[in-house]
Structure formats: C-alpha cells, structure tokens
C-alpha cells in the first residue's frame, strides 16, 4: 500500500494525508496512506454517513473495490500487469456517483457549431520520421499542475480545453499561464456545453474563438456552475487578461501517428476517453492497460501532454482533473498504438493560435 511520507515532507510537498475533513469541501481530494480497512478510510477522508445502514452499504462498496485492487496489484507483483491501483477517496462511491465526474458529452446544440468544421493540417511541414521517440510537455515547462474538478461537477471538458490551450500558448510565448475553467463552465452554455452537467472540448474551443477566455487568477474555479462573469473579470480595455484563438483543429479519429506529430511539434491535445472502469478511478501508476475500458463509449475529457515507451509498451501521458493526489501526480500513462486504447484517439482537438 501507499506509504505516508514524514510530516515535514508532507507539508513541503502539500501531500499530507488528511483526516476529519469533508471531501466535498476540498479543492483537492486527500491522499490516503496505508488504508488497510474501512475504519482507516473513514479516518483519513472524514466521511460521515447518515445512519448505520448507509455506513454498511458504503463499506460493502469499499470492500468490493479493495478486493479488485488487491487482485490487480497481485497480478502486477507477478509480472502479469504493468499498472497498479490504490484506494483513494472515491472508493466508497457507486458507479452512478462516479459518473458525475465523467462529463464528456456531445449535444445537438453543440454539433451545429462543429458540423462541417475543417480538419486542418495538424502540423506544419510534417516530419513524422524525425519525431522524437519520447516527448513530455511537463519537462518543457508547458503544463500547469492538475486541478480537481470537484465531486458532482462533470467539468472535465473545461479542464481539457484549458489544458491544451495552456500548452500551445506556452509553446508560442514561453509563458505558462493558467486559464479559467470556471469561465467556460459559467459562460459556454450557448455553445452546447452544460457546465457541471458536461460538455465537449470542441465546444469549448468554439466559445474561446468567439469570446476568449480569462486567466484563472481573475476568474477562479469554484466546482459549481455560476452566473457568467467574464466581462467583469476581463479587466479594462484592451482586456489584457483575455486569451483568444484563431480556430481549432481536430484529429482524424484513430490517427495516433498524427496525435504524436501534433504533441511533439505543436502542443498538447484535448481528447476524450472511457474512464468508467474502477481501475481508472483507483489508478495509482504504471501503463494503464485494462481492456474493460474498450467496452464502452468515451465519457471523460483529458489532456494528452506527451508520449513514450517502457518495457516494449508505447504509452500516452494524460493529464486528468482528479487532483495531484490521483494517479502519477495527477497524470496517467495509457497504452499507445493499441487501437486507440480506451477511445483515446477517437475525439482529439487542439487550438490554433
């Protein structure tokens, strides 16, 4: 199981294992350490249930997930799997409750904006044969720390949209600026998005092309949809805190070579994937390869920030929006060149500055 660092190191890293707190009140969910049973889980998350019946129900969910995690990690220890799981604060939630985090949704009103959109040439002077074998925008300084979208808020689409744009702005300007997910959650409904009820990264880019987006420090994230405040947070003309794009481009579904080309030469990609399996929810590290994620449609938006290979397996590096206490510091490695694993190559786009 995950070991707790010393208290001094916890404070330095901001990764303290928390107790007696409400998950819903956190900007990030707590990092759980050495969870051996349900009592440990409750002590570290601070969760309190309405009655004993509810507690027993939640403990049964926890026990089933713990059994799956233990079996999965046993397979990893035996060399039969390349990824590991661990118990995190989502371990007592039902599939329906977890689905509130999975907000990648296309809509009829949104598709009227994207229908007929041009699939632009995705890299200038493509040089596929000369692409690096591995690439990571984190190493270049072009990725902001993973945030937490919040329980009950399916705003992953806004995190994917801003994450991709942040990387492309960095490549163009050399400056890493955090952009406001809240701006999109509050203001982009007319483009087919539904705030915390879901949306789509392409609709987010449509909005930014027409209206721009505010810096995150001017328009902070709240984990709730609120009244649009873009005008009052943008500053006085010339509205220096507003970022705009010329357009956006999409990747032909399934074209992982083109994805690699864009990531290595232009910047990160906003992509959809299927994040419904428990193994995704409770992922700790390694190259994710659970075939269960190929059984359903895509439902979650992430940012592809790099790629590489390890032990003969190619992988994508994705940035999630479950906080830095999920996965590999908020990131996941997922199989690459494996038929668009988990649907990762089915819906990818990026901004054109």
Among 48, 69, 91, identify where a domain stops: 91
Assigned token pair, 16: 């303290």
Contacts 24+ apart (CB under 8 A), 312-315: 313/82, 313/287, 313/289, 314/338, 315/287
User: Are 74 and 135 found together in one domain?
Assistant: no
User: Are 191 and 265 found together in one domain?
Assistant: yes
User: Are 179 and 78 found together in one domain?
Assistant: no
Catalytic residue among 88, 274, 299, 320: 320
Catalytic residue among 17, 33, 153, 156: 156
User: Are 64 and 117 found together in one domain?
Assistant: no
Residue 337 a catalytic site member: no
Cα atoms in the 13 Å half-sphere on the side-chain side of 151: 16
User: Are 127 and 150 found together in one domain?
Assistant: yes
**First-last CA distance in the chain:** 44
User: Are 112 and 44 found together in one domain?
Assistant: no
User: Are 296 and 166 found together in one domain?
Assistant: yes
Cα–Cα distance, 191 to 80 (Å, whole number) = 45
User: Are 172 and 154 found together in one domain?
Assistant: yes
User: Are 183 and 330 found together in one domain?
Assistant: yes
Instruction: Please give the pLDDT value at position 127.
Output: 55
Catalytic residue among 300, 325, 342, 348: 300
User: Are 200 and 346 found together in one domain?
Assistant: yes
Chain segment 276-318, per-residue pLDDT in tens = 999 999 999 999 999 999 999 999 999 999 999 999 999 999 9
Tally of domains in the chain: 2
Assigned token pair, 194: 């539904």
> Range of 203's domain?
97-230+237-352
The H-or-E segment that residue 308 falls in is strand 300-310
Q: What is the pLDDT along the chain (353 residues), one digit of tens a residue?
A: 344 433 222 322 333 444 333 444 444 578 999 999 999 999 999 899 999 999 999 999 999 999 999 999 999 999 999 999 999 999 999 999 999 999 998 877 777 766 655 444 444 445 556 899 999 999 999 999 999 999 889 999 999 999 999 999 999 999 999 999 999 999 999 999 999 999 999 999 999 999 999 999 999 999 999 999 998 776 655 456 789 999 999 999 999 999 999 999 999 999 999 999 999 999 999 999 999 999 999 999 999 999 999 999 999 999 999 999 999 999 999 999 999 999 999 999 999 99
Residue 300 a catalytic site member: yes
Residue 2 lies in a domain: no
Residue 28 lies in a domain: no
Residue 12 lies in a domain: no
User: Are 151 and 296 found together in one domain?
Assistant: yes
pTM: 0.90
Among 27, 56, 91, identify where a domain stops: 91
Instruction: Please give the pLDDT value at position 67.
Output: 97
Instruction: Please give the pLDDT value at position 233.
Output: 75
Q: State the CATH number of the domain containing residue 297.
A: 3.90.70.10
User: Are 74 and 216 found together in one domain?
Assistant: no
Chain segment 21-33, per-residue pLDDT in tens = 344 444 457 899 9
């Amino acid at each position: 199981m995950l070991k707790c660092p010393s208290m001094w190191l916890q404070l330095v890293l901001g990764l303290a294992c928390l107790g007696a707190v409400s998950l819903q009140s956190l900007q990030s969910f707590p990092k759980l350490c050495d969870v051996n049973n349900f009592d440990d889980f409750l002590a570290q998350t601070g969760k309190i249930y309405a009655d004993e019946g509810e507690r027993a129900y939640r403990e049964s969910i926890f026990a089933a997930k713990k059994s799956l995690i233990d079996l999965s990690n046993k397979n990893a220890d035996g060399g039969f799997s390349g990824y590991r799981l661990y118990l995190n604060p989502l371990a007592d939630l039902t599939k329906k409750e977890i689905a509130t985090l999975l907000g990648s949704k296309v809509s009829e009103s949104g598709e009227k904006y994207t229908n007929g959109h041009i699939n632009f040439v995705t890299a200038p002077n493509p040089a596929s044969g000369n692409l690096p074998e591995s690439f990571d925008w984190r190493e270049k300084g072009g990725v902001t720390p993973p945030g937490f979208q919040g329980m009950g808020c399916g705003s992953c689409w806004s995190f994917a949209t801003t994450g991709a744009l942040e990387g492309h702005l960095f490549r163009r300007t050399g400056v890493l600026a955090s952009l406001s997910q809240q701006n999109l959650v509050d203001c982009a409904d007319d483009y087919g998005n539904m705030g915390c009820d879901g949306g789509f990264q392409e609709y987010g880019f449509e909005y930014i092309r027409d209206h721009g987006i505010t810096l995150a420090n001017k328009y902070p994230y709240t984990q709730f949809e609120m009244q649009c405040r873009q005008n009052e947070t943008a500053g006085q003309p010339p509205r220096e805190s507003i970022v705009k794009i010329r357009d956006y481009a999409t990747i032909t579904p399934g074209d992982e070579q083109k994805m690699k080309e864009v990531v290595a030469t232009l910047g990160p990609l906003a992509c959809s994937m299927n994040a419904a399996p428990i193994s995704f929810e409770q992922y700790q590290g390694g190259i994710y390869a659970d075939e269960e994620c190929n059984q359903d449609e895509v439902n979650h938006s992430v940012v592809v920030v790099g790629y590489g290979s390890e032990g003969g397996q190619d992988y994508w590096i994705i940035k999630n929006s479950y906080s830095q206490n999920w996965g590999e510091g908020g990131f996941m490695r997922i199989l690459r060149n494996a038929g668009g694993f988990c649907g990762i190559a089915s819906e990818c786009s990026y901004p054109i500055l």
